[in-house]
Chains A and B, each alone.
Chain A
Amino acid sequence: MKKLLIMLVASVFTVQLQAQSLGGGQVTGNFQIDAQLSRQDSAIGAEDVPQKLLSNVFANLLYTNGGFSAGVRFESYLDPLLGFNAQYKGAGIANKFMSYQNDMFEITAGNFYDQYGSGLIFRSYEDRNLGLDNAMMGVNVKVRPMDGIIIKSMVGKQRYYWDYGKGLVRGIDGEFSINSLIKRFEESKTRVTLGAGFISKYEEDQTILAGDNYKLNLPLNVGAGSFRMDLAHGNWGLQAEYAIKSQDPNVLNNYIYKGGNALFVSASYSQKGLGINLQAKRIDNMGFKSERSATGEMLYINYIPAMSKQHTYALMALYPAITQVNGEMGVQADVTYSIKKGTLLGGKYGTGIKMNFSQIMSIDKQPLEGYTTIGETGTDGYTSNFFKVGDELYYQDFNIEISKKLSKAAKLAVTYAYIAFNPIMENEHGDIHYNNVFVADYTHKLNSKNVLRGELQWLKSNIAYFDEDKRSGDWLMALVEWNFTSAFFLSVSDQYNYNGSEEHYYNVSVGYTHNTTRLQVGYGKQRKGLLCIGGVCREVPASNGLTISLTSSF
């Protein structure tokens, strides 16, 4: 480790020296420091913190000079903030890469992030604020032999906290723009892009015992392939991707030998003032990790997004949809409409309407012949009719948002959502929660420098009891935020869980932003989730006490 570090520092140093003699290059970077002085609080899962102070720090340093770039990321979790896996504990260089590219090709050695298509078979991704990072460590090559063709190939292992997963991941992907390739279609209004990818994972054998104590004959290589297309014709658009996966007995699917498949289709129409998007997906046994016995959120090779709108208001985001990699079918419809100004409903400034509906169901699963249960270890698991919808509701969400500028100074947005949430998505048993959520979001510009914003949120649930994670019951939330230009803000909020845990989540935050440097200090209780205050959105961990956050980029 020490040696590695010295080598790294030395290499960055030499690269810089050389770069200067080559005529410049540039160094840029960013960092974020989050520190918490925590108090014990079982309500938000904040255990007693003997260290008193917890902190997460990351800093990226990026050097570029023409087609060459290199970067390192330092990370420290001493100790990790609440909600972050304890295996993050430690500090060091977590990420390093060198990359060179010209018009024809690009090669990256070290850590890299990439995805094939929408990620159904491969996506390496990071979200520092969520503690998610499945960066590849290896080599990634992209070739553009001619305009309209991109071929990618890679090999590597995936990051696992401060280590790498055992599985070796290899992949190749090609994307072809028909309009660029065929002269005749160059100016065509119809744009067609086709793509295909293949991923193979190798992992050494291990002993997994099935019921009668016989050892499973595990496939050492698991393959997954996908085809995709993207059609655009003027106002119309159609995207589809289909993926299949070979036998992959793993802990997620209870070590069954059934293959997996996934289909994602999205169609859209839009013109000025109106946008419509319809989506459908079907997932069957597509949990794909580089270690067959790994649980948790790390080591995923692929990414299957949840088919629902990502809510940002705290109470609307209280029960988020969670992708069921073992099987789900979903549909989503999304409409954005702007009513013109000067009309009856549009008023003086126009009105914006957003509507969204999503429903996620189980897939049909029938026991194999001669079996009474589904998904027995060591078998093919189950059979499934591709077109038949399962009878269990996982998630349903209808929401509508109307936003209106009331005067030169005032804006109001009201949102209503009906959200049905099945706890089975979090592997919990219990009744489905049916929630009605109302939000009013009001902004008032007092003058050119002072802006006041207020949020009122109300969640009415059908379930009123005290549960472990203190989420059941009804909620009321109020937030007031004062902004002095974009430089300073003060926000005060409280979330109250009545007919439930009876807990208050009060919070006071102040923030100062100068260009790209932002300091935010908060005091109070905070549930984890996406927080949008003071004009910025970011994921925040659960906290209770004092939190300090400093972010900067240069």
Chain B
Amino acid sequence: MKKLLVSAFVFIMSMGMINAQETKSLPVLPDNISVKNLDGKTIQTSEFGNDGKPYILSFWATWCKPCLRELNTIKEVYEEWQEETGVKIIAVSIDDARGASRVKPLVNGSGWEYEVYIDQNQDLKRAMNVVNVPHTFIINGKGEIVWQHTSFVEGSEEELIELVKKVMNGEDISESK
């Protein structure tokens, strides 16, 4: 029974891999998930975008120190980034009812100028296969996920903006670290 299960599982997994390789297309952002903005309005992920320019999508939570460090670190260079590249940051909080009502005061109190959404039921988190936070994506102008990474350490924001610049120049960064 166990063997059967394992082999069935490996089979499903490999089918997935083969499928992904054959088509060689990039995964796209799910466009039909509902999240809420900081005013409690329901927004569909199809409304995510940056006028055809790439953007950074970052999953975080009020209880996640590395996430707060990431968003605070980027805060200091965000204006510069926007002037240079026009990049936008969408920060999605996965806080549940315990933390969700603290999100807006925390965002404003910290002086973050990001577009922030709350994914309280974690629908988007599940749809994008986020396991742990922080988990950061770069989405290109076509809504394709061109890069993703989990974990944040001071200095990785520099790699992040370099990658965004490459995406803007049309380079393939899917194999970048």
Q: Which residues of A contact B (CB under 8 A)?
A: 1-2, 5-6, 9, 12-13, 16, 20, 24, 26-30, 32, 59-64, 67, 69, 72, 74, 91-93, 101, 106, 113-115, 118-119, 123, 125, 150, 175, 177, 179, 191, 193, 230, 232, 235, 237, 239, 266, 268-277, 279, 303, 305-307, 310-312, 334-338, 349, 352, 354, 403, 411, 441, 443, 445, 448-449, 451, 483, 485-487, 489, 513-516, 518, 530, 532, 534-538, 551, 553-554
Contacts and interface: CB of A to CB of B under 8 A. Distances in A.
Contacts of B127: 62, 64, 69
B64 A485 contact: no
A448 B109 CA distance: 29
B30 A150 contact: no
A515 B135 CA distance: 10
B54 interface: no
A305 B2 contact: no
B105 A5 contact: no
B133 A537 contact: yes
Contact of A535 (B8, B32, B106, B134): B134
User: Does more than half of chain A's interface fall in helix, strand or loop, or is it mixed?
Assistant: strand
A381 B23 CA distance: 64
14 contacts: A9-B11, A20-B23, A32-B131, A113-B122, A275-B106, A275-B108, A277-B102, A277-B105, A334-B106, A335-B109, A485-B153, A518-B150, A537-B67, A537-B133
Given A513-B151, A516-B135, 7 more contacts: A6-B8, A26-B28, A115-B120, A237-B40, A305-B98, A515-B148, A518-B151
Given A26-B27, A275-B109, A537-B65, A551 B5 contact: no
Given A24-B23, A191-B39, A486-B152, A538 B132 contact: yes
Interface string B90-115: 00000011111110111111110000
A534 B153 CA distance: 8
Contact of B16 (A61, A532, A536): A61
A485 B8 contact: no
B97 to A, nearest CB: 4
Which residue, A237, A239, A275, has most C-beta atoms of chain B within 10 A? A275
B105 A118 contact: no
Nearest to B25: A24
A303 B105 contact: no
Contact of A269 (B105, B150, B153): B105
B45 interface: no
B62 interface: yes
Interface stretch (B78-86, B155-163, B164-172): B155-163
- B contact residues, range: 35 or more
A118 B122 contact: no
A118 B96 CA distance: 8
B12 interface: yes
Contacts of A403: 72
B98 A486 contact: no
Contact of B105 (A232, A276, A451, A535): A276
A532 B149 CA distance: 16
Given A16-B19, A275-B108, A532-B65, A515 B149 contact: yes
A275 B66 CA distance: 21
Contacts of A74: 5, 9
A101 B31 CA distance: 11
Contacts of B102: 277, 334
Contacts of A266: 101
B141 to A, nearest CB: 18
Contacts of B28: 26
Contacts of A487: 177
Max count, chain B CB within 10 A of own CB: residue among A63, A269, A516: A516
Contact of B151 (A311, A336, A535): A535
Contacts of A335: 105, 109
B155 A448 contact: yes
B65 A312 contact: yes
Contact of A537 (B11, B13, B66, B96): B66
Contacts of A24: 23, 25
Contact of B129 (A62, A271, A336, A338): A62
B56 to A, nearest CB: 15
Contacts of A514: 177
A490 to B, nearest CB: 12
A306 B158 contact: no
Contacts of A123: 97
Contacts of B155: 445, 448-449, 451, 485-486
A259 B41 CA distance: 33
A29 B16 contact: yes
B98 A306 contact: yes
A310 B133 CA distance: 15
A513 B154 contact: no
Nearest to B127: A62
Contacts of A118: 97, 100, 120
Instruction: List the 8 closest A-B pairs by CB distance, nearest first.
Output: A336-B109, A275-B105, A275-B109, A305-B98, A535-B151, A270-B108, A118-B97, A230-B40
Contacts of A337: 109
A486 B149 contact: yes
B147 interface: yes
A113 B120 CA distance: 11
Given A191-B40, A334-B102, A515-B149, A443 B129 contact: no
Contacts of B69: 443
A245 B154 CA distance: 49
A536 B150 contact: yes
A443 B152 CA distance: 13
Contacts of A29: 13, 16, 129
A30 B158 contact: no
B60 to A, nearest CB: 10
A178 B134 CA distance: 34
B82 to A, nearest CB: 16
